[in-house]
Structure formats: structure tokens, C-alpha cells
Amino acid sequence: MKDKILSDFLASEKRLDLYRERAEGLLLSLLEQENVMIHHISSRTKKIESLTKKIDDKLGKYNLLNDITDLVGIRIITYLESDVDVIAGIVSREFLVDLENSIDKRELKNDQFGYKSLHLVVNLHSSRASLPEYRNYKDLKCEIQIRSILQHAWAEIEHDLGYKGKYAIPDQYKRNFNRLAALLETADLEFDRLKRELSEYENEVGELIKNAPQNVKIDQASLLQFNLENDILIEARDLISQITGWEYSPDLNNLIGIPERFELFGIKTIKDIEDSLKNDKETFFRYLKIFTKDFKYYTMGLTIVLFYYQHFLAGKTEDISKIIEYQDYGEISIAGKPEIFLENFQKAKSSS
């Protein structure tokens, strides 16, 4: 029986490998469509040596090649543990799940810690298997492993240590082993909690800005929301677009360094930006006309106006050393001679 299974495997190896490529590509496409961010996806087709060992280890269990459900394996590493269930839902919707051979290794007993992963054995749905590009793989199974990056780290460490299973670890080391596993599990839960709280804040920050902008500190979420809704910034973007022909793309938004650089000008809350824009609106708009008059057609992010407003604030200091500090501050270096920032501001100021 073993020889027949191995012979059938060698005859099917190329088809299995092509199926692996198709299945991995399909999963990637589905995750992108659902806007699910993952850390990594990888796949493998079982090697003959590994298959031989599997048959020998489970003597008498396998009668046919199709009895072995992990000839093709795909591993998806998520950032958060909660994403495991999200991806499992997509897999269950888009594939036929073999419940008998699938296993949820996350279901540990109350006194257990350690390896956690969801293993789903799947076939193509008949509707997809009827398509020309999938027709040749309609009878093939695939095992999809889904785990968080911390669960993956634990599995790799556990494998490297060479101790798996309840009775494999010497008693004197079990406490340390379980404590480390519990730390990773706790971190997984805390990252999920942090994501939920950040999402709640992002949903609420718009109302916080409307009701009490003086209490809203400048951060990525508050600045993005303020940038979208502030009338002066909207008008400034329209002005830049009229001058340059630019179109704006939300996909190009980049706040790198912008929240931090506001501190250089004593601006710490959304109310501070709001007041500053109101006080300087006319001069700022003249500055934009001077600064962008020679720019060519381009596609930019909506946050570019904040970047240019900080250029304006740097020039407004009328202090070359402050402008140089502004240029060098944060994660990126702002190109251009410091004198230009000052000259553009002075032109805008004098033309009032």
C-alpha cells in the first residue's frame, strides 16, 4: 500500500505543486479584496521523504493518496489573534471545509499553554472548480494553517527546543515553559485589546474635535480627521489644485513627522492648529500661491496641505536657525535652502 501511495504521489507531484500556486494566489487575492492585512503567507508541497515518514509513523492509517490531507500546505501568519477568525471566515465562505480532518489547536485546556493554530483542510467549491483555471484541481485537498505572529513565534521556538507534547518537557522546566507561553498568549490578547481601543478612539475623535478641540492632542488619528473636515484646509487644498492641477488621492496620505513637528511651533492641540489657521489664513493662502506656482501636474495625498502649512510656520518664525531645526526634525529631512522658507513667507506677508 505504501509503494502505491508513493507511486501515485510522484505521478501527481507536478499537479499538486501547480495547485499550491493557484491556492496561495487565490487566498492572497481574497484577503486583498477584504482588506485583511497579514504578516506573511507561504506554501509548500510535501516532499517524498516527508510523505514516506508520515506513512511510516501512521502505519495502516492511509490506504490511498487522497487519504493524506496535507500534501499541499499553506500557512498564513496574521498580526493579531482576532484576524485568525476573520481569515477562517473567508476560507469557510470561499472553500469547502473538511470538518472531519480540520483541527483547532487553539482550544487548550484551562491549565495548558503552548502551541496554538487553526488548521483547515479544504477543497475547491464546485462553482470555482468548474472554472477552466481550477478544473484540474477539483479533487485535491489543501491544509491551510492560520496563526498570529506571536503564535508562530512560539511554534518556532518550541520546535527549535525540540520539546513538544505534555510529557516531553522535564518536570523541573515545565513552570518556566508554561510561563513563557502564557506571556505570549497574554501579549496576543493585549494587542487585540489595543487595536479595539484605537479603533474606538478613531471613531470618536471627530466628535471630540467638534465638542472640545482644546482637549484633543495632536496625533495621527486626530490630525487625519481634522485635515479632512477643517474648512480652511479644504479651501487650501482646492487652491493648490487650481494652481497646480493636482488631484488628491487618499491612498497617498503620509503623516510621517508631521504630528511631531507641530511641537516646534508651540502647537500641541487641535484647537491650537485651528486658531493658528484662522489667524494666518490670508497670509497662508498667499504663501501657497507663491510656493506652488511653478509646481507641475501631480497626484498627491490629502495631507500635503499640512506639510505646506508647516513650511509656512517655519518661515513665519523669521529665524534661520529655527527653520534649519524644522528641516532636520523628525523622521525625514526637508530639502531646500532655509532662506527660501523665509523669503516665501516675507513675500506673502508684504503683499497683504
Tell me which residue of 163, 122, 151, 141 sits closest to 46, measured CA to CA: 141
For residue 108, what pLDDT is reported?
53
Number of residues assigned to the chain: 352
The three-point CA angle 134-135-139 to 5° equals 100
Tell me which residue of 196, 177, 199 sits closest to 115, measured CA to CA: 177
For the segment 109-147, what is each residue's pLDDT rounded down to a tens digit?
A: 544 445 578 999 999 999 999 999 999 999 999 999 999
Selected residue with higher pLDDT from 166 and 204 = 204
The band of 227, judged by pLDDT with boundaries at 50, 70 and 90, is: very high
Answer yes or no: is pLDDT of 256 > 90: no
Tell me which residue of 151, 159, 81 sits closest to 115, measured CA to CA: 151
With a pLDDT cut of 70, the percent of the chain lying above it is 92
Selected residue with higher pLDDT from 171 and 207 = 207
Antiparallel, parallel or unpaired: β 142-148 and 72-78: parallel
- Provide CATH 3.30.460.10 ranges for the chain: 2-186
Task: Give the mean model confidence (pLDDT) for residues 181-203.
Answer: 88
DSSP output for 276-331: HHHHHHHHHHHHHHHHHTTPPS-EE-TTHHHHHHHHHHHHHTT-HHHHHHHHHSSS
Task: Give the mean model confidence (pLDDT) for residues 207-233.
Answer: 95
Residue 351's contacts (CB-CB under 8 Å, 6 or more residues apart) are 286
The answer to whether the CB of 323 falls within 8 A of the CB of 264 is: no
Q: How far apart are CA 225 and CA 204, in angstroms?
A: 10
For residue 112, what pLDDT is reported?
47
CA distances from 295 to 246, 285, 290, 291, 335 (A): 9, 16, 10, 8, 15
For the segment 68-124, what is each residue's pLDDT rounded down to a tens digit?
A: 999 999 999 999 999 999 999 999 999 999 999 998 876 655 444 455 789 999 999
Answer yes or no: is pLDDT of 18 > 90: yes
pTM for this prediction: 0.72
Fold entry, domain 2-186 = Beta Polymerase; domain 2 (3.30.460)
Answer yes or no: is pLDDT of 162 > 50: yes
